[in-house]
Structure 1
Amino acid sequence: MIFDLIKKRRSVFPVQYNDKPIAKRDIEKILEAANWAPNHRKTEPWRFKVMTGDKKAKLGEFLSNTYIDVTVKPKQMKSKKLIENPKKAGAIIAICMQRDFSESIPEWEEIAATAMAVQNMWLYCTEMGIGSYWSSPGLIKYMDDFLPMEEGEKCLGFFYIGYTDIEIPEQTRGPIADKVIWMD
């Protein structure tokens, strides 16, 4: 049931991943799930850049070096984490949004559509038994120095994916009744 899958979806962090590789065909299926997200005026604004192999380590080095360069008092632990996390992932998918050149819809709608594409990926990963995590570090504003970006395209974060051996605990939410106002 889709409702059970929605409730089971969790953030699974790179430190929790094992070394089991993710097949390219499985990554392609995850991306195909993203491609079916709803979007206004069919702009399909989501763009993805998949990093595997050595590119993951290069991303970590770029993030760490950029952090050190732009931070007044960089912390060694954070710098190390920026280097290590990408190496632990089976793959990293840069989540990007391509702005409609005619600006026929508000930018927030294209960001929302891209977020819905990521939710599709997240749910599909959950179904496949692949852990996943959306990270949006402040350093994403520098990604055009690392990733090929088209005019009007911006990076919104990274979708880390990897298999895990740990049991993902259930979570709870506050009652929906506390978040809804009915108006007749």
Structure 2
Amino acid sequence: MIFDIIKNRRSIFPAQYNDKPISKETVQKILEAANWAPTHKKTEPWRFKVFMNGKQAELGRFLSEKYQEVDPKPKQVKIKKLQENPARSAAVIAICMQRDPNESIPEWEEVAATAMAVQNMWLCSAALGIGCYWSSPGLIKYMDEFLEFKEGEKCLGFFYMGHYDEEPPLVKRRPIGEKVEWLD
């Protein structure tokens, strides 16, 4: 049931992924779910660039090299993580947003619509037993040096995907009653 999938969805990080591949058809199915996210004025701002079949390693090299270029005191552990996380993933999806050229709605609404598309991807991945994680490092502002973007398009982060073996720990939430004010 959808409520169980929502409750059990977790961030599963690249370090937890095993070597089992994810088929292009499965990624396509997950992206199709993203395409059904709500969108004000039907701008459908979400855009995705999928890295598979070794292209993830190229992304990792770019991120690692760019970090060393822009950080005056790069840390070895971060250099390694930036390079290895994409390569450990069965797929990495660059999450992008295409701004409505008419600016018919506020930009935050297009960011929110893109985030809802990603939530659809996350829920479908969870239902299929695929681990995933949305990362938005500061380096995304340099992605136009690695990817071709259309006018008004920008990267909002990366959606790492992979199969995993160990079940993630349960997460506790404070009761919803602490976060709601009823105005009956």
1:41 positional shift: 0.4
Mapped pair 1:96 → 2:96:
yes
SS at match of 1:120: helix
Per the TM alignment, residue 147 of structure 1 is displaced from its structure 2 partner at its CA by 1.0
Residues in 2 aligned to 1:119 and 1:54: alpha-carbon distance in whole angstroms: 26
Aligned partner of 1:49 in structure 2 is 49
Partner in structure 1 of residue 17 of structure 2: 17
Gaps in structure 2 of 5+ consecutive residues: none
- The equivalences for 1:38-117 within 5 A come to 38-117=38-117
Provide the residue aligned with 1:175 in structure 2: 175
Alignment RMSD: 0.6
**TM-superposition CA deviations, 1:33-72 (whole Å, max 9, x none):** 0000001000000000000122111100100010001101
1:141 Cα deviation from its structure 2 partner? 0.3
- Aligned AA for 1:123? L
Percent identical: 68
Distance of 1:159 and 1:175 partners within structure 2: 29
Q: Does 1:154 align with 2:154?
A: yes
Instruction: State the secondary structure of the residue aligned to 1:18.
Output: coil
The separation in 1 between residues aligned to 2:24 and 2:55, in whole angstroms, is 15
Correspondence 1:2 to 2:2 = yes
Pairwise CA distance, 1:171: 1.1
Distance 1:75 1:53 in 2: 28
Aligned pairs, number: 184
Q: Distance in 1 between matches of 2:77 and 2:53?
A: 24
Query: Unpaired segments of 5 or more residues in structure 1?
Result: none
SS of 1:60's equivalent in the other structure is helix
C-alpha separation between the residues in 1 aligned to 2:141 and 2:179? 33
- List structure 1 runs of 4+ shifted beyond 2 angstroms: none
Instruction: Tell me the SS of whatever aligns to 2:142.
Output: helix
Distance 1:141 1:54 in 2: 23
- Structure 2 letter corresponding to 1:76: Q
Displacement after TM superposition at 1:18 (Å): 0.3
